[in-house]
Homo-oligomer: A and B are copies of this chain.
Amino acid sequence: MNKRIITISREFGSGGHSIGKAVAERLGIGFYDQALIEKIAAETGFSEEFIKEASEYSNAKNRFLFNIVVNRSLNDRNEPTPADTIFFAQSKVISELAEKESCVIVGRCSDYILRDRKDCLNVFICSDTEDRARRILKRYGNTDKPIQKRIEDKDTRRRIYYSHYTDRPWGIAQNYDLCLNSGSLGEEVCVNTIVSMFKSSYDISR
């Protein structure tokens, strides 16, 4: 099956953003990370900052939105939280994007949202703690919180958010087509591997 879409899920500090960006540039296709947040903001009316925060730590306690997305029917006994509203909007935005164009989408449970499509290459990028710490400090600098604690907190938030909305564990090889360790392999090998896997399934002369 030809691949048209690449979804990239990633650990904080693993370089998933820059790997995704380089892949999109090499393939000459769209790249959606910040641009996705702008689209979701336009769809929901929430600020971009709020979307970034709420989407990494859902306080929603119910399965309301999951039911909307999966069953396409409203359950009027439950009220959606803002995080649910955002997830619903991002599901819509991501599904429309995938329908419209070949692109790279970073994060936001895009692998799960597009799980019924056969034309997605779902990639997970991870790395060891030392390598992630180096990358985080270089990109965001130091804060009062020790780097190890920042990594653990962010991992916990992403894990909770992902499993809340997808009902499956985060970072398990079985959820993806391809998982790459950017720390041991290096970012360039990761980019090359994704690009050649995508090209081998897809006539790039669109």
Interface residues of A (CB under 8 A from B): 11, 124, 126, 128, 171-174, 176-181, 184-185, 189, 192-193, 196-197, 200-201
Contact = CB atoms under 8 A, between A and B. Distances in A.
Contact of A173 (B173, B193, B197, B201): B173
A189 B180 CA distance: 15
- Chain A contact residues: over half helix, strand or loop, or mixed? mixed
B178 A185 contact: yes
The 3 closest A-B pairs by CB, nearest first: A179-B179, A173-B179, A177-B181
A181 B181 contact: no
Contacts of A126: 173-174
Given A180-B178, A181-B178, A124 B173 contact: yes
A31 to B, nearest CB: 22
A185 B177 contact: yes
